[in-house]
Structure 1
């Protein structure tokens, strides 16, 4: 069976199996939020479920569980029995607890069994069940290792570079000789293998089902971080005893900690889309107010071992006004591909939320992005030395993608239905800072064939007062226990099942 057929089967099999018997959830009256992108109308029906995993959860290696930098729901496991859904999801943590510098944390992938009991759109759950709609249990943890089976590491690569060999490009390397990986997004393929994107390269890695590195894809030269004319993958988060890079920021290429944050496969399995968190240094990425024009890379995934860049677009990130009245850019944190021309994109501010000094987030939103009329810059001079947006001003020859806001994660009325809020009091029911993971699963209702549950998870930065990693106990900076949290929205996304 072809990979495309496998994808089609996974998207539609559950619908066919349950079509005759699935019950329909009652629908409360509410004002749907609808936007149109690429000629298709998408609808947000609102928040329908919330769940938590305690901040001090340990994984099978006895280390503090890392939450959601990336998430992938297994569609073949997704079932419905009345109003209760069950399935398996994979949750990808990033490089470990690193508030005071990076550590030799081994990259890994966590497997969770979930039971989901949604409320009807617009309904308010009982007070004692406001945050128990998603019941997630950790069932396994798998290490991600290099091509020889050796450990990889979350340590900042500083100036280390592993030389290219064969079809493998140069890779970030820590001083201990291990490949440095700050993993941010995951795409799980039907055979169990996976693509994982990272911050350091910023690269796209392909791993086997048992976590061994198979291949790596390097982005266009314009995205590779350069210092003093040479590739330098450091992110200015040195490990114990290590020195900061010189200069601290790259001269060109991706900004520190602004790599391939979002990545997703199109429903037909043909294309892999990856989006840089914010603009490259030469495109205004040296400032929080000018880093708006980021890039979306579209790869032909017919041969997973050799991704082929076929399209590249400029995506203008949302702008917001901060507490001091200054314009800032909301960096993107994750995407869900709807086609090779449209995707959902989560963008947010930073430095605000539970566990931090500033309680109130000013921007967290999910938009529908349409690149159908955007200029394709793949293979152009913009992939080399020519900036596409010098000092943040987009080149006049380039038409960017369009954005339409679909979900406001900070919506106070929606949050209140589940005992949550944005801002003071800065307690455990205030949303944490980093919402970075998204994945969808069918509602499995024959009367709503285009409806899906959009799971959104936070990255809690391993913040707990009962932490343990890399052989040592720790207390998270700031004194808070930040749980892993899931929010689930019901959305209408026409056309996916037919792809």
Structure 2
């Protein structure tokens, strides 16, 4: 089954050939939010490791545009960098949530950048289920008979494989807003799950069924290392569905695994998978993606995927080096891939089979080089750039340009090695010409 009826000539390009395209997006604004502030969840008390339950912490695991100057930002499973219990990978009973931000761009003729960016936290929404969830020893204290909150604790699961939607553990990594603005779609690493939540209340509305024979880990554990060693197929622990896109027409979700599945080579391999979910029916298709970067002679894990139009996407590939790691950034790149005419790999397994039909990809933006050009050293570039979103167009020198927003995940660490590590946001401007012939289609939101 093909992604679309594109010509056979285009299908011939679905090989491992990788080319590059000259792109010239430029940084036009920067902004930040401190991670040591309180969020707007209303939670009180402390977590098992002593961190406040309402710690804002990191919120750049995903960034989603919601129209105008409104964006949603996503923390992952909470503060787990402090050692308190290795038996649960230092995870806590942190309740997963997303934040609503107002991102005010103001023209700044005096420079050094054309705009100033002022992020403001306006709301925090906790995630819960009406269905009773499977917990371990850490049931959220705020649970009621009708509201069962998800948890970041790695031992909050019951019997069954990793795709059971009643497991309470959730490690959110991808987030997008529905076309009507009433729902948010979220992907995670534990399942890997794809869920729909009510945007206002945080109630789970739907769980999309992922192919169990392909993505499920049969043997679960509270530690990632044990879960990897205990399985021969399925998603790699802590390397699940890291990225999520929504097509501009709001019809499809595009999920991206952070690393190849165990049967496809596992962490560090080349043969990754992209899933395409039709929202109306839940139908799932799968496509291959080659993580390999020839210039580095290495495969890199993928952190995010963003829809340019209905069939072309930007993929964020990166290392884990830079600010927050105490080292210097080397690889932070955005690659463009076209799934039109790509082969459905739902019934294929193994790196060789997937790489044989992986679409070509082209370099859209070297983020490291662009940030260097704007004055940031490699040590100042966040190690974990993870959130991508398009936003409203802006006018620079009388010319209308599109905007691309990038956010970082700081692992809830305010400082590493003496370096400040806040939540940072970078806004780039680009033209249609920068897309190398692709047609950018912005997401349009229906008025409620």
Instruction: Provide the TM-score with structure 2 as the length reference.
Output: 0.77
Deviation at residue 361 of structure 1 after TM alignment? 2.0
Deviation at residue 104 of structure 1 after TM alignment? 0.5
From 184, 206, 211, give the equivalent of 1:220. Answer: 211
| 2:312 equivalent in structure 1 | 342
Q: Note if 1:422 corresponds to 2:378.
A: yes
From 468, 488, 491, give the equivalent of 2:427. Answer: 488
Residues 252 and 111 (structure 1), Cα distance of their counterparts in 2 relative to 1, 3 Å cut: same
Structure 1: runs of 5+ lacking an equivalent: 1-40, 79-86, 174-178, 238-243, 424-429, 466-476
From 274, 277, 286, give the equivalent of 1:312. Answer: 286
Answer yes or no: is the 8 Å Cα contact 1:371–1:400 preserved in 2. no
Structure 2: runs of 5+ lacking an equivalent: 1-20, 43-53, 84-89, 131-145, 433-438
* Alpha-carbon separation, structure 2, partners of 1:418 and 1:334: 23
- 3-state SS in 1 of match to 2:25: strand
| 2:78 equivalent in structure 1 | 96
Deviations 1:444-480 (A, max 9, x none): 559866x310000000110026xxxxxxxxxxx6554
* Alpha-carbon separation, structure 1, partners of 2:194 and 2:341: 26
Q: Note if 1:49 corresponds to 2:7.
A: no
Q: Note if 1:138 corresponds to 2:128.
A: no
From 101, 121, 125, give the equivalent of 2:111. Answer: 125
Instruction: Provide the TM-score with structure 1 as the length reference.
Output: 0.70
Residues 125 and 361 (structure 1), Cα distance of their counterparts in 2 relative to 1, 3 Å cut: same
* Alpha-carbon separation, structure 2, partners of 1:219 and 1:73: 25
Residues 142 and 403 (structure 1), Cα distance of their counterparts in 2 relative to 1, 3 Å cut: same
Answer yes or no: is the 8 Å Cα contact 2:324–2:410 preserved in 1. no
Deviations 1:202-232 (A, max 9, x none): 0101111210011212322344343xxxx23
| 1:6 equivalent in structure 2 | none
Q: Note if 1:254 corresponds to 2:245.
A: no
Equivalences for residues 188-227 of structure 1 within 5 A = 188-189=177-178, 190-209=180-199, 210-226=201-217
- How many residues are matched? 382
Answer yes or no: is the 8 Å Cα contact 2:64–2:175 preserved in 1. yes
Q: Note if 1:400 corresponds to 2:358.
A: yes
Residues 329 and 119 (structure 1), Cα distance of their counterparts in 2 relative to 1, 3 Å cut: farther
| 1:272 equivalent in structure 2 | 253
Equivalences for residues 340-379 of structure 1 within 5 A = 340-350=310-320, 352-357=321-326, 359-378=327-346
Deviation at residue 388 of structure 1 after TM alignment? 3.1
Deviation at residue 377 of structure 1 after TM alignment? 1.9
* Alpha-carbon separation, structure 1, partners of 2:161 and 2:237: 21
* RMSD value, Cα: 3.0
Answer yes or no: is the 8 Å Cα contact 2:239–2:257 preserved in 1. yes
* Alpha-carbon separation, structure 2, partners of 1:448 and 1:42: 20
